[in-house]
């Protein structure tokens, strides 16, 4: 390392730290930004995501919708400027249900989210003289509808997605949504940041010296030994290790971690067309079992839980180029709070369970039951606050900031989150959603009352 002073030291080179560096160095010309991580950039949680984005967020107010709309706006600007280097698409999220009651709830919930700023709601009942439902193109993001299309005609659902079960009675297609390459996005932002002077240091932040409650020096353990950087500004962006880093300055954070898995499975027979959106089965579901398998499971005390009803939300999207056989598949059926570790362990049966859940939505996938070809299971931690909103802004030690607790939305929130962090550090005027993301929000009795209506899974898939 050849720097012993810096304008800003950022702890963590995941998508949050990298976006913070980009917004400080490339967008605001902050000269000496140092980004510290013992790992290669973008190799912990940020390389494990499904890489999806959406402006579709529940209430109780419009904060998250406005925050994500801004992030998507910045992603679109960056995609235009980079010749879409990170392959941003806008295929949308498709929620499906076989439950008439749920279909009615879609209508109320969708109207509310659209009113909060997600766009307009178009309802399709399959009647004459109504505007037609138009599926999303597989590539590109320009000139496409926002809001959502609520399709209440099973016939339109079947015509659009013939591989979906005939039991589906309603489909909510959220339109300002899709996915991108998170790795390419991170690398693009990092390149811009380093071109504007950001220095990447391979090491671990092990101590922070403060003086009169002000950040003075950040101490880094590298393979060459202990290094010290004098700085006025220290940004904590250490993902699941936020609390461990905040301990270095004696700050307690209201965060916890849940481990979330993801399966990469193969669809060599092409049961699912490659050009579809992210598709979510939105009803609680049983796993698919043949009668003889069911009989075996009933007799097995340890495995009997596999016959129980699982929660709603099993989902997938195609991954890779047009000829790729891969699907990313996820189901959050078992999360509990846990301490993060460097090498988390995932249940080997996860891929098979997710597949057997997906069969509720795509019966054709039953051909792979018990026959998946070498699925890959990975994942990472959702570092969260109790109301599932991020932490972005100053900490009680002067010169210390945080950008994290981005749960299952860190890729989509990276751009507006990094921008907001940079506004705080540079003392600029803040966006009006800023207050809802600071640590000090919890001191506001009005906010405390607002979040009583919210859950840690609020807006989570």
Q: How far is the CB of 365 from ligand FAD (least distance, A)?
A: 20
Which is nearer to ligand FAD, 161 or 316 (by Cβ)? 316
Which is nearer to ligand FAD, 133 or 241 (by Cβ)? 241
Sorted by sequence, the CB contacts under 8 Å of residue 315 that are 6+ apart come out as 278, 279, 280, 281, 329, 330, 331, 461
C-alpha to C-alpha distance for 60 and 454, rounded to whole angstroms = 7
**In contact, 333 and 310? CB cutoff 8 Å:** yes
- The piece of 7-15, 68-76, 109-117, 417-425 that touches ligand FAD (CB under 6 A) is 7-15
Which is nearer to ligand FAD, 241 or 433 (by Cβ)? 241
C-alpha to C-alpha distance for 272 and 293, rounded to whole angstroms = 25
- The piece of 152-160, 239-247, 308-316, 424-432 that touches ligand FAD (CB under 6 A) is 239-247
Q: How far is the CB of 395 from ligand FAD (least distance, A)?
A: 15
Q: How far is the CB of 350 from ligand FAD (least distance, A)?
A: 11
| 3-class secondary-structure state, position 407 | coil
Which is nearer to ligand FAD, 375 or 408 (by Cβ)? 408
Window 259-288: residues binding ligand FAD (CB under 6 A): 260, 262
**In contact, 425 and 416? CB cutoff 8 Å:** no
Which is nearer to ligand FAD, 148 or 411 (by Cβ)? 411
185 is an interface residue for ligand FAD by CB under 6 A: no
Judged by CB under 6 A, how many residues of this single chain contact ligand FAD?
A: 40
Sorted by sequence, the CB contacts under 8 Å of residue 179 that are 6+ apart come out as 50, 51, 52, 53, 88, 89, 91, 278, 317
Which is nearer to ligand FAD, 45 or 233 (by Cβ)? 45
Which is nearer to ligand FAD, 248 or 359 (by Cβ)? 248
Window 19-48: residues binding ligand FAD (CB under 6 A): 36-39, 44-46, 48
Q: How far is the CB of 18 from ligand FAD (least distance, A)?
A: 7
User: How does DSSP assign 185-203, residue by residue?
Assistant: HHHHHHHHHHHTT-EEEES
What beta strand segments (E) does 175-268 contain? 177-179, 199-202, 204-211, 214-222, 225-231, 234-236, 256-266
Using alpha carbons, select from 429, 278, 432 the residue that is nearest to residue 358. 278
357 is an interface residue for ligand FAD by CB under 6 A: no
Q: What are phi and psi of 15, to 5 degrees?
A: -65, -30
Window 145-184: residues binding ligand FAD (CB under 6 A): none
- The piece of 94-102, 227-235, 295-303, 402-410 that touches ligand FAD (CB under 6 A) is 402-410
58 is an interface residue for ligand FAD by CB under 6 A: no
55 is an interface residue for ligand FAD by CB under 6 A: no
C-alpha to C-alpha distance for 78 and 85, rounded to whole angstroms = 9
400 is an interface residue for ligand FAD by CB under 6 A: no
Q: What are phi and psi of 336, to 5 degrees?
A: -145, 160
Using alpha carbons, select from 22, 390, 416 the residue that is nearest to residue 186. 22
Q: How far is the CB of 5 from ligand FAD (least distance, A)?
A: 19
In the list 6, 16, 190, 358, the residue contacting ligand FAD (rule: CB under 6 A) is 16
Where helices occur in 37-165 by DSSP H, the ranges are 63-81, 100-113, 154-160
| 3-class secondary-structure state, position 398 | strand
| 3-class secondary-structure state, position 346 | coil
End-to-end, the C-alpha distance of the chain in Å comes to: 41
In the list 89, 245, 388, 423, the residue contacting ligand FAD (rule: CB under 6 A) is 245
9 is an interface residue for ligand FAD by CB under 6 A: no
C-alpha to C-alpha distance for 10 and 422, rounded to whole angstroms = 12
437 is an interface residue for ligand FAD by CB under 6 A: no
186 is an interface residue for ligand FAD by CB under 6 A: no
Degrees (nearest 5) of the Cα angle 67, 73, 76? 140
258 is an interface residue for ligand FAD by CB under 6 A: no
Which is nearer to ligand FAD, 188 or 241 (by Cβ)? 241
332 is an interface residue for ligand FAD by CB under 6 A: no
216 is an interface residue for ligand FAD by CB under 6 A: no
Query: Where on the chain is the footprint of ligand FAD (CB under 6 A)?
Result: 11-17, 36-39, 44-46, 48-53, 204-205, 237-241, 245, 260, 262, 379-380, 404, 406-412
């Amino acid at each position: 390392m050849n720097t012993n002073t810096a304008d800003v030291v950022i702890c963590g080179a995941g998508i949050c730290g990298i976006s913070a560096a980009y917004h400080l160095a490339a967008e605001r010309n902050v000269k000496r930004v140092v980004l510290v991580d013992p790992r290669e950039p973008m190799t912990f949680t940020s390389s494990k995501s499904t890489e999806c984005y959406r402006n579709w967020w529940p209430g109780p107010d419009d904060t998250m919708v406005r925050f994500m709309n801004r992030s998507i706006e910045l992603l679109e600007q960056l995609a235009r400027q980079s010749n879409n280097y990170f392959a941003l698409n806008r295929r949308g999220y498709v929620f499906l249900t076989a439950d008439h009651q749920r279909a009615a709830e879609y209508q109320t919930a969708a109207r509310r989210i659209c009113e909060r700023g997600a766009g307009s709601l178009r309802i399709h009942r399959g009647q004459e003289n109504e505007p037609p439902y138009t599926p999303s193109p597989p590539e590109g993001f320009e000139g496409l509808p926002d809001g959502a299309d609520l399709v209440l005609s099973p016939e339109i659902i079947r015509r659009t997605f013939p591989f979906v079960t005939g039991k589906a009675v309603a489909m909510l297609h959220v339109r300002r949504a899709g996915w991108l390459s998170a790795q390419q996005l991170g690398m693009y932002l990092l390149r811009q940041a380093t071109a504007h002077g950001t220095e990447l240091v391979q090491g671990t932040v092990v101590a922070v010296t403060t003086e009169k409650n002000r950040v003075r020096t950040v101490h880094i353990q590298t393979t060459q030994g202990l290094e010290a950087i004098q700085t006025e500004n220290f940004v904590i962006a250490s993902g699941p290790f936020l609390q461990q880093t905040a301990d270095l300055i004696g700050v307690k954070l209201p965060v916890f971690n849940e481990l979330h898995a993801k399966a990469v499975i193969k669809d060599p027979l092409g049961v699912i067309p490659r050009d579809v959106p992210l598709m979510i089965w939105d009803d609680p579901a049983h796993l698919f079992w043949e009668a003889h398998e069911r009989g075996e499971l009933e007799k097995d005390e340890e495995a009997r839980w596999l016959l129980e009803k699982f929660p709603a939300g099993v989902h997938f999207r195609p991954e890779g180029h047009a000829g790729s056989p891969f699907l990313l598949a996820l189901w959050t059926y078992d999360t509990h709070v846990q301490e993060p570790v460097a090498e988390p362990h995932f249940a080997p049966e996860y891929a098979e369970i997710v597949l057997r859940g997906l069969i509720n939505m795509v019966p054709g996938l039953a051909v792979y039951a018990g026959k998946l070809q070498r699925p890959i299971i990975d994942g990472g931690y959702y570092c969260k606050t109790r109301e599932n909103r991020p932490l972005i802004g100053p900490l009680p030690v002067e010169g210390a900031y945080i950008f994290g607790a981005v749960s299952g939305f860190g890729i989509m929130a990276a751009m507006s989150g990094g921008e907001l962090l940079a506004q705080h550090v540079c003392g600029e005027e803040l966006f009006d959603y800023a207050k809802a993301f600071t640590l000090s929000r919890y001191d506001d009795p009005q906010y405390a009352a607002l979040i009583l209506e919210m859950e840690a899974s609020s807006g989570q898939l």
